[in-house]
Amino acid sequence: MGIDFFDPEKPGTEVNELTPETNIDGVLNALETIVAECIAQKSRAGYFAALYLKVTKAVKQAIDAKQFHDSSQLEKLDVVFANRYLAAYHNWKYHRAPSGPWAIAFDEVEDSSAIILQHLLLGMNAHINFDLGIATVVAGGGKPIESLRADFDAINMIIAALTNQVLSELGQVSPLLSLLGLHASNTNFALLQFSIDNARDGAWSFAEELSVKKTIEREPFIAQREITIKKLADKLVHTAGIVNFTVWLVHLFEWKPINKIIDILNQNRRQQIVVNS
């Protein structure tokens, strides 16, 4: 599948075409619809969707509280970024191929042996490591990439804060998750070494490089990035040896009702996030 720089997920022009959202309220409505669908269908795709809905609500609250110097530019970045996830979900839902990193994330939705953390990290890997750099360049509309840095950092501050909150709450539905900490020094498994900070820094470096590419160079450059992040997704899925046993043990004691897990991840807990943008 060829890659369109401005709409790499290509929802298509035939039946069930997706109309991109134009503001953050539209994004929130779309995410709420996805979460509701996943709860009704008992789909593990709802795990990441619930996390992303929390993040987007926090961005909206920060915009309303006027925490950004340029709220309109920040909202534009947030919407362009979110549309990539919405397009990937839409393509998967209607049996069209999303980008490689999202294909692996959605394939794992059907795998009952993957732990909840793996589902969340696969979503973050596709959306931050692959989507965010592209969205930053597109949202910039040709402006110098450095002019987007404050918005980029603000979005990532909120992502990190909300993700860390959700991960700290995972113990309710995944009571043995802390056992993975026993292997924290093992650098051979992406599941143990995945870092939001590293993902953020990698996404910014990717955006910087992409922004200076000529139009004809962008498609192959994005394609190579897609291959790289797809390989990382593969590593998030596959474990071996004692780590594999620990993952199995964690999974054994995790909650099994998918709709109840999504409900827990979707719970609103008040948290003041102050963004210095």
The residue type found at 15 is: V
Rg of the chain on CA atoms, in Å: 18
In sign, the C-alpha dihedral spanning 168, 172, 173, 175 is positive
Do the beta carbons of residue 150 and residue 69 sit within 8 Å? yes
- What is the pLDDT at residue 63? 92
In the block, which residue shows the tokens 């909120």? 158
Interatomic CA distance for residues 230 and 235, integer angstroms: 9
Whether 273 shows a pLDDT value over 80: the answer reads: no
pLDDT tens-digit series, residues 94-124: 999 999 999 999 999 999 999 999 999 999 9
- What is the pLDDT at residue 149? 92
Listing DSSP states for 196-229 in one string gives: HHHHHHHHHHHHHHHHTS-HHHHHHHHHHHHHHH
Interatomic CA distance for residues 73 and 193, integer angstroms: 33
Whether 212 shows a pLDDT value over 70: the answer reads: yes
> Which residues neighbour 132 within 8 Å (Cβ) at sequence distance 6 or greater?
81, 152, 155, 200, 203, 207
Using 50, 70 and 90 to split pLDDT, how confident is the model at 195?
Answer: confident
Interatomic CA distance for residues 3 and 53, integer angstroms: 27
Interatomic CA distance for residues 155 and 142, integer angstroms: 20
- What is the pLDDT at residue 12? 42
Using 50, 70 and 90 to split pLDDT, how confident is the model at 166?
Answer: confident
Whether 83 shows a pLDDT value over 70: the answer reads: yes
pTM for the whole structure: 0.90
pLDDT tens-digit series, residues 9-32: 554 444 568 899 999 999 999 999
Whether 235 shows a pLDDT value over 70: the answer reads: yes
Q: Where do the domains of the chain lie? A: 24-265
